[in-house]
Amino acid sequence: MSGEIAVRSWVETANAPGGAFGIGNLPYGVFRRAPGKERPRIGVAIGDRILDLRVMAHAGFLRGLGEGLEAACLAQELNGLMALGGGEQRRLRERLRVLLEEGAREEAVLRATPGAFCGQREAEMLAPARIGDYTDFYASVDHATRVGRLFRPENPLLPNYKWVPIAYHGRASSIVVSGTPVRRPCGQLPGDPPLYTASRALDYELELGLFIGPGNELGETIPLGEAEEHVFGFCLVNDWSARDIQRWEYQPLGPFLGKNFATTISPWVVTMEALEAYRVPAAERAAGDPAPLPYLSGPAGLGRDAFDITLEVAIETERMRELGMAPARVCQANTRDLYWTPAQMVTHHASNGCNLRPGDLLATGTVSGPGDESRGCLLEITGGGEPLLLPDGETRRYLEDGDEVILTGYAERPGLERIGFGECRGRVVR
């Protein structure tokens, strides 16, 4: 079920049915060919290739788009592009489409331009942006309810949940790109007395990340109807969590060292424009739930849109790798089930005058759904009962050393081009 591809690319691999990076996607990332040596550059994924925007700018393919835009394409991170408004971003996207679509006038010249493309397999992907700040929301009511039930069976959802988008400030310095090993953290584990040792309850969290575009000045707010103009695009986020450290430290101020030892993001940033066809009305609120306050409400389509993005988690243990087994899918969820939309998160974050800056990362919080197959972390899957059974017979309550967690995401619907997010991988090491 890949959908028909209305526009084809002369880059043949972009037209593969079910592929992640067709010409309707064109996500941005930062890469280099020679690990550790070459200067990082901005690229655009197309099929199994990367179009090198640095080479494109130098070879004159971006001429006429404006100096600001060309300069932003020559940078070593996406912040400059993110800072530009939607109009300029759309102009660049349109130019890239024209260059890459089937029958493009420039095909022969582009093919002959040295270094215009790099195979994705030959590239080292880097963090796409200089992330100044990272905030993690708690936007899935299904996640909040399941987790709340473990701690407060009689009162799983706290009364503020349906009024105020809950979040904590994460740490930007420990955000790493897909493929970076994640060291099992040490910390204080609950006990009498507590013990400082390696976490025994390491978990993943399946999340969608939002990269901030232009943002707001300190003291200014972002009205809901304008909030999406401040979202540059989306990536996958694994908010690794040490549940034992978290359980002991989280009261009264919230998550700290149980969360900030590592956060993994996928390297490709899928733009808002690429997901235009996958807007859906925000999930219907349950009967009796309050309507959002006026600053978080608006006419349909103005900040009330959710996105129909499927997110999945797969686990591959060391033993499964030795046996040559495929990673086992343990979750499939969809961001359309979230209680708060991306626009509401942006507007709420700036509602006190807090400034959001280009390249800041907001994440949705664990994306779960109502069904058992859509539980986005191990705490939800195993916290209340049986361990998780993997296809090779192993069981897991939490992650073991050597386990690799693989997040994937995509939007697809019959008749529409599939938009893939690629992967967000991380292996637990000691």
Half-sphere exposure of 377 (CA within 13 A, CB side): 28
Residue among 70, 77, 142, 239 that touches Mn ion (CB under 5 A)? 239
Nearest CB to Mn ion, comparing residues 136 and 249: 136
What residues from 347 to 366 belong to the interface with Mn ion (CB under 5 A)? Answer: 365
249 is a contact residue toward Mn ion (CB under 5 A): no
Nearest CB to Mn ion, comparing residues 76 and 145: 145
* 129 to 158: interface string for Mn ion, x by CB under 5 A: -------x----------------------
Tokens (6 digits) for 368: 């779960």
> How far is the C-alpha of 39 from the C-alpha of 235, rounded, in Å?
23
Contact in structure between 252 and 109 (CB atoms under 8 Å): no
Closest contact distance (angstroms) between CB of 172 and Mn ion is 14
Nearest CB to Mn ion, comparing residues 27 and 365: 365
Closest contact distance (angstroms) between CB of 394 and Mn ion is 25
Nearest CB to Mn ion, comparing residues 142 and 417: 142
∠ CA 396-398-401, rounded to 5°: 90
Q: Residue 403, Cβ neighbours under 10 Å: how many?
A: 24
Contact in structure between 240 and 261 (CB atoms under 8 Å): yes
Residue reference for tokens 């900030």: 260
List of E strands, 99-185: 117-119, 124-126, 134-137, 167-169, 175-177, 182-183
Contact in structure between 47 and 13 (CB atoms under 8 Å): yes
> How far is the C-alpha of 28 from the C-alpha of 25, rounded, in Å?
9
The residues annotated as belonging to the active site are 143
Residue among 70, 133, 205, 403 that touches Mn ion (CB under 5 A)? 205
Nearest CB to Mn ion, comparing residues 134 and 278: 134
Render the burial of 95-118: b for 16+ CB within 10 Å, e for the rest. Answer: bbeebbbeeeeebeebeebeebbb
Return the SS3 of 97. helix
Stretches 36-44, 233-241, 274-282, 310-318: which one binds Mn ion (CB under 5 A)? 233-241
Residue nearest to Mn ion (CB): 239
Nearest CB to Mn ion, comparing residues 214 and 365: 365
Contact in structure between 296 and 224 (CB atoms under 8 Å): yes
Residues near 335 by beta carbon (within 8 Å), at least 6 away in sequence: 208, 306, 307, 308, 309, 311, 364, 367
Closest contact distance (angstroms) between CB of 263 and Mn ion is 8
Nearest CB to Mn ion, comparing residues 52 and 207: 207
Alpha helices in 310-403 (DSSP H): 318-322, 342-350, 378-382
E strand or H helix at 264: strand 263-265
Query: How far does the chain reach from its first CA to its final CA, in angstroms?
Result: 40
> How far is the C-alpha of 360 from the C-alpha of 209, rounded, in Å?
10
Closest contact distance (angstroms) between CB of 248 and Mn ion is 18
Contact in structure between 414 and 185 (CB atoms under 8 Å): no
Nearest CB to Mn ion, comparing residues 172 and 274: 172
Closest contact distance (angstroms) between CB of 81 and Mn ion is 26
Closest contact distance (angstroms) between CB of 278 and Mn ion is 23
Closest contact distance (angstroms) between CB of 365 and Mn ion is 5
What residues from 363 to 402 belong to the interface with Mn ion (CB under 5 A)? Answer: 365
E strand or H helix at 72: helix 67-73
Closest contact distance (angstroms) between CB of 285 and Mn ion is 22
> How far is the C-alpha of 101 from the C-alpha of 415, rounded, in Å?
19
Stretches 182-190, 199-207, 323-331, 406-414: which one binds Mn ion (CB under 5 A)? 199-207
Stretches 33-41, 121-129, 203-211, 218-226: which one binds Mn ion (CB under 5 A)? 203-211
Kindly list the residues in this chain that would bind Mn ion in the complex (CB under 5 A): 136, 205, 239, 365
